[in-house]
Amino acid sequence: MSDPTPPQQPVASHIPQPAHPEALLREVAALPALPGVYRYFDEAGQVLYVGKARNLKKRVSTYFQRSHDGTRIGHMVSRIVRMETTVVRSEAEALLLENNLIKTLNPKFNILFRDDKSYPYLRVGRLPVLHGTDVEALGGPASPTDYPRMSYYRGAVDKKHQYFGPYPSAWAVKETIQLMQKVFRLRTCEDTVFANRTRPCLLYQIKRCTGPCVQLISVADYTADVRRAANFLNGDTQTVLDEMQTRMMAHADRLEFEQAAEVRNQVSALSRVLHQQAVDNVSDKDVDVLAVRIQGGRACVNLAMVRGGRHLGDRPYFPVHVEDAVVWAEGDDGSAPSEAPDMAQRVLEAFIAQHYTQTPPPPILVVGAPVDAGLLELLSEQTGLKVSAVVNPREHRRIWLDMAQTNADLQLARLLADEGSQQARTRALAQAMDMPLDDLASLRIECFDISHTAGESTQASCVVFESHQMQSAQYRRYNIDGITPGDDYAAMRQVLLRRYGKLAEALRESGGQAGSSAAQRLPDLVLVDGGKGQVSMAREVFEQLGLDLSLIAGVEKGEGRKVGLEELVFADGRDKVYLGKDSAALMLVAQIRDEAHRFAITGMRSQRAKVRTGGSRLEDIAGVGPKRRAKLLQRFGGVRGVAQASVEDLMTVDGISAELADVIYRALH
């Protein structure tokens, strides 16, 4: 068998090509000429890169048959020792799988946009089906299903309701809801509240609701209001205005001046909103505007959303791995990649690929840099919607892009300023603690705090600071039990033993060699929120585990517990250190300490609420699914009401048998 390692063309560089394992090269030679996704791993098992290809054999072979000396690609290829591939049916499927893996595996040489919370929507219930012509007199109590509710929603969408959006922020949704209340007066109350009303609420009195809960409006009229609201949200504003003006004149012709005045006020409110739009053009219903800026090794993609012809606001995204990213420009035959010259274009394409495989794209993207047409075709195929990009927009689209570009500039400048300030704080703390200053990005600090209410629902928190920022994905909460209620020292002992016990054992077995992951190595500093008492307890734990006492520091309140007078107390016998009221090091310590306190107290309150109300106990009862649970909560007004109900009361709920009622009663008592 011939050696497959020699390059396909002469290499000018005198640096030898990196040697790769024979098994890896044989695997590359055996790859199929099919679309798929490939992953590269280094010697430690860490993912280096995730990529897609419409021809796996051609694409992957180019990494090992070409010289990439002196480039980021060459640096990455030299570290590859193992590869995994997944064959899919089409390149569109490969695009989706690639970006899911990038977000899951966090490879070092891919541009990565962090997953944000799902976008919020404005949700309106499904319209009722009207039977017959006499829908004015329904008889009986009003049903929530006959009067769809308008609400803020975040999560997966379904076909049971109407969804409008997505919106860039919760504020944008709530502002739209307020407008809908003023103009169309749709209800926003929960179904359980609606079903139990006997008279209209305050929103009816201030003309923000039409009182459907007590049937002050017919189903037909309310349904018409919902349809008008949906038309407005979909961008048909002129149609809605014309219809409302026609209704106003019809009321006036019938001498119904009070009703005509109400419609006039609604038209006025709607017109004011449309005129307040700085850039409004109903010819563009749904558009996303994407501007990108790169500076100082960081990048910002600013996404502005236009929905229903209205500019709803924007949101910045900051990718990581921009400096290390390997980006390729693929040739027409799929086999001639080269170092991409335009990083702004590649950052923008990475955002489009990762963002719109999770969020439905609009039909038009106004972009600040060219975008590969092949990517848009794959996106269209994957989403089933034709997606096009406008690179050099004109008129109102140019205004939108200029606004987005300005915001990208401002957001990136703010980020760089904040990062510079945070790095200065990290350096100041390292200097105050006599720590090495050569690699501050790897400095890891873990901080612990205890929270409870008079000994109830004690919880400990552990927050992590690394790479000059708080690492919320690595936060941990610990439920503390088996101690005397209110004993903070015993709680601190328990959490430190649980956090570092297994780590200390692993270090002893490996001869003091820490693992590569964050969970397998000791932090450079362990902060405990407390003075001498808590530090003494931490010292006992570290002595028991055989760990370095110099890692421990306590944050002791100053005289009068005033902010800015805190001192650091050490477990190894060093003198206290007062950092100074205006010290950058103290600002960082206070930031970490306050975050540990916040994380502990929110967890404690959540745990306490569960204990007091039976929070998840109802969900844990076998035989009580979502529908039965909803009926129980609606019947008794909450978990506490269910717990107070007798077996006979529980049996009155539809679907609750005598046996199940007995099971529920026993579980809650």
- The answer as to CATH 1.10.150.20 being correct for domain 614-668 is yes
* Per-residue confidence (pLDDT) for residue 520, from 0 to 100: 65
* Per-residue confidence (pLDDT) for residue 441, from 0 to 100: 85
Task: Name which residue leads in pLDDT, 114 or 225.
Answer: 225
C-alpha 117: how far from its chain's center? 2
Alpha-carbon gap, residue 666 to 663, rounded angstroms: 5
Residue corresponding to tokens 């396909």: 8
CB under 8 Å to 293, separation ≥6 — which residues? Answer: 299, 300, 302, 344, 405, 408, 409, 412
Look at residue 94 and tell me whether its pLDDT is greater than 90: no
What tens digit of pLDDT does each residue of 103-129 get? 888 888 888 887 666 778 888 888 776
Radius of gyration of the chain (CA): 31
Q: 244-250, long-range: CB within 8 Å, 24+ apart, which pairs?
A: 244/270
pLDDT band for position 4 (cuts 50, 70, 90):
very low
What tens digit of pLDDT does each residue of 22-49 get? 888 888 888 998 999 999 998 888 899 9
Residue corresponding to tokens 């976008």: 119
Alpha-carbon gap, residue 116 to 589, rounded angstroms: 27
What is the DSSP track for 196-245? T-SS--HHHHTTS---GGGTSS-HHHHHHHHHHHHHHHTT-HHHHHHHHH
Alpha-carbon gap, residue 373 to 388, rounded angstroms: 9
* Per-residue confidence (pLDDT) for residue 541, from 0 to 100: 92
CB under 8 Å to 485, separation ≥6 — which residues? Answer: 452, 454, 455, 456, 458
Percentage of residues in the chain with pLDDT exceeding 70? Answer: 84
Task: Name which residue leads in pLDDT, 59 or 510.
Answer: 59
Architecture of domain 287-413: 2-Layer Sandwich (3.30)
Alpha-carbon gap, residue 251 to 246, rounded angstroms: 9
Residue corresponding to tokens 């090509």: 17
Q: What is the pTM of this model?
A: 0.62
Cis peptide before 10 (omega within 30 of 0): no
Sign of the dihedral through C-alpha 106, 108, 110, 114? positive
Q: In Å, how far are 43, 426, 469, 589 from 433, measured between CA atoms? A: 34, 11, 18, 12
Look at residue 445 and tell me whether its pLDDT is greater than 70: yes
Residue 239 token pair: 């149609």
What tens digit of pLDDT does each residue of 360-407 get? 888 899 998 888 888 888 888 877 888 899 988 888 888 889 989 998
SS3 readout for 511-579: CCCCCCCHHHCCCCEEEECCCHHHHHHHHHHHHHHCCCHHHEEEEECCHHHCCCCCEEEECCCCCCEEC
What pairing do the DSSP bridges indicate for beta strands 310-317 and 298-307?
antiparallel
Q: 239-247, long-range: CB within 8 Å, 24+ apart, which pairs?
A: 240/270, 241/267, 241/270, 241/271, 244/270
Look at residue 265 and tell me whether its pLDDT is greater than 90: no
CATH ID of 440-609, from 3.30.70.260, 3.30.420.340, 2.60.40.1080, 3.80.30.20:
3.30.420.340
pLDDT band for position 514 (cuts 50, 70, 90):
low
Burial status of residue 77 (CB atoms within 10 A of its CB: 0-12, 13-18, 19 or more): buried
* Per-residue confidence (pLDDT) for residue 20, from 0 to 100: 75
The H or E element containing residue 67 is none
CB under 8 Å to 394, separation ≥6 — which residues? Answer: none
Q: Where are the domains of the chain?
A: 22-105, 120-236, 287-413, 440-609, 614-668
- CA neighbor of 71 nearest in space, from 42, 106, 109: 109
Alpha-carbon gap, residue 664 to 451, rounded angstroms: 32
Percentage of residues in the chain with pLDDT exceeding 90? Answer: 14
C-alpha 291: how far from its chain's center? 21
* Per-residue confidence (pLDDT) for residue 116, from 0 to 100: 61
Longest dimension (CA), the chain: 97
Amino acid at 623: G
What tens digit of pLDDT does each residue of 576-623 get? 888 877 788 888 998 999 999 999 888 877 766 655 544 446 766 777
22-105 and 287-413 share one CATH topology? no
CB 229 within 8 A of CB 239: no
Residue corresponding to tokens 């808590």: 534
Look at residue 280 and tell me whether its pLDDT is greater than 60: no
Residue 54 token pair: 């419409």
Q: What is the CATH number of domain 22-105?
A: 3.40.1440.10
What tens digit of pLDDT does each residue of 135-194 get? 444 445 678 888 998 888 887 777 788 888 778 878 888 888 888 888 888 898 888 888
**C-alpha distance across the termini of the chain, in Å:** 74
Tabulate helix, strand, coil % of the chain (nearest 5). Answer: 45, 15, 40
* Per-residue confidence (pLDDT) for residue 17, from 0 to 100: 46
Sign of the dihedral through C-alpha 241, 243, 244, 248? positive
Look at residue 660 and tell me whether its pLDDT is greater than 60: yes
Residue 522 token pair: 């000791």
Residue corresponding to tokens 């000994």: 455
Amino acid at 45: G
Look at residue 416 and tell me whether its pLDDT is greater than 50: yes
Q: 463-467, long-range: CB within 8 Å, 24+ apart, which pairs?
A: 463/592, 463/595, 463/596, 463/599, 464/518, 464/523, 465/588, 465/592, 466/442, 466/518, 467/441, 467/442
